[in-house]
Amino acid sequence: VEQVTVAIPSRSYPVTVGAGALRELQATISRLAPTGVAIITDQTVGQLYGRNLAAEQECRLYEVEPGESAKTLTVLGQVLEFLEDCKIDRKGLVIALGGGVVGDLAGFAASVWKRGIRFIQVPTTVIAMVDSSVGGKTGIDTRRSKNAIGTFWQPSAVLADTRVLSTLPDEEMTAGLAEVIKYAISLDAELVRVLQTSRGQLLARDPQALERIVAGSVGLKANVVVEDERDHGPRAVLNYGHTTGHAIEVASGFRISHGRAIAQGMRVAARLAQRLGLCDRDLVKTQDELLADYGLPGQLPKISPETVLAVIPRDAKAIGGRVGWVLPEKIGRARVGMTVPQELVEKVVKEVFAE
């Protein structure tokens, strides 16, 4: 088990990663000495792990429906009423047990209940372990826009037990590994080597091998978040592959999953960087091979590059219509806020989709 500290001044917290990290739950709760505890999870994770955990902790559990559909104002209302029923007061504690959906929803609920109470993240997907549980972004969707309503609210602790990944569906595993590859290519050449050499163990869900890449990714995200908690600048590096990736998700009507879409987005970004003379052809090749090793982006349904191109300028992170690209310079390093000529974007997106 490894520990990474997210050293945000005045709100520093530990992320415990590894096989057996959940054994620290009792000690973590005791340290926080809450007046009451409530667990929020989804039905799938509830059945697998939540009900046991609630019995052990002698606390109540609320299960939302699995999937993005739980990130709504309606479900938020139900969660807040549950906290009220449980008589969770200002010194109470929420445990968010599940994937990114539960983490975002329960974290948001904790951030507004009684004007903000403490919460612990217990992420159970790779995405949640390496991305959503660390950094303090919480939120829900409106009918038309994802993560439109939210807060910055840091957890008091994160416990990422890689053993629970044994039950994660393959497709969710692949999605998470796409984000890990994103961290590696844009921030950490050593992590690229680990991914290249430990593929077999990782795909077999070996908890120790997973511990290494999860702890590595958390460390990278923690560094970025400490630099830029509120996402005003350097945190943008975490969007590597996401500019085209989001556009692909939208253009496909969300038939293409986030992980596969950002993998394709990374292929676009690396090719843009190469054409601009920022990186060499080897980077493009190394990244293509690493992605392919993990089945990414995989066979994607046909979508028109024109639709993707039409969506890119609407990127959520664009300011005043200007898209800031994240482009790799070499393996393990990327530049943020780059402007790319429109003709080049068109050319490369069309090429990548013609392959």
Ligand X SMILES: NC(=O)c1ccc[n+]([C@@H]2O[C@H](COP(=O)([O-])OP(=O)(O)OC[C@H]3O[C@@H](n4cnc5c(N)ncnc54)[C@H](O)[C@@H]3O)[C@@H](O)[C@H]2O)c1
Site residues, ligand X (CB under 6 A): 42, 44-45, 48, 66-68, 71, 98-102, 104, 124-125, 127-128, 131-132, 135, 137, 147, 164, 167-168, 172, 175
Is residue 295 within 8 Å of 174, Cβ to Cβ?
A: yes
The radius of gyration computed from the CA coordinates of the chain, to the nearest angstrom, equals: 20
Q: How far is CA 210 from the centre of its chain?
A: 16
User: Shortest Cβ distance from residue 274 to ligand X (Å)?
Assistant: 27
User: Shortest Cβ distance from residue 259 to ligand X (Å)?
Assistant: 8
Nearest to ligand X of 132, 274 (CB atom): 132
Q: What is the C-alpha to C-alpha distance for residues 262 and 13, in angstroms, rounded to an integer?
A: 29
Nearest to ligand X of 167, 342 (CB atom): 167
Nearest to ligand X of 45, 195 (CB atom): 45
Nearest to ligand X of 50, 305 (CB atom): 50
DSSP state of 300: P
User: Shortest Cβ distance from residue 312 to ligand X (Å)?
Assistant: 19
User: Shortest Cβ distance from residue 45 to ligand X (Å)?
Assistant: 5
Q: Which of 106, 115, 125, 124 lies closest to 37 in space, CA to CA?
A: 106
First to last CA, the chain: 42
3-state helix vs strand vs coil in the chain, percent to 5? 55, 15, 30
Nearest to ligand X of 185, 225 (CB atom): 225
User: Shortest Cβ distance from residue 282 to ligand X (Å)?
Assistant: 29
Nearest to ligand X of 124, 274 (CB atom): 124
Dihedral sign, Cα of residue 298, residue 301, residue 306, residue 307: negative
User: Shortest Cβ distance from residue 79 to ligand X (Å)?
Assistant: 14
* Burial class for 135, CB neighbours closer than 10 Å (0-12, 13-18, 19+): buried
Nearest to ligand X of 231, 329 (CB atom): 231
Cα dist from 202 to 166, 188, 263, 296, whole Å: 11, 18, 18, 15
Nearest to ligand X of 81, 170 (CB atom): 170
Is residue 196 within 8 Å of 212, Cβ to Cβ?
A: no
User: Shortest Cβ distance from residue 132 to ligand X (Å)?
Assistant: 3
Nearest to ligand X of 56, 89 (CB atom): 56
Is residue 101 within 8 Å of 70, Cβ to Cβ?
A: yes
User: Shortest Cβ distance from residue 192 to ligand X (Å)?
Assistant: 21
Helical packing angle, 258-275 and 342-354, nearest 10°: 120
User: Shortest Cβ distance from residue 71 to ligand X (Å)?
Assistant: 6
Which stretches does DSSP call E strand in the chain?
2-6, 13-17, 37-42, 60-64, 93-98, 118-123, 137-140, 149-152, 157-160, 325-330, 333-338
Please report, as a single letter, which amino acid is at residue 294: Y
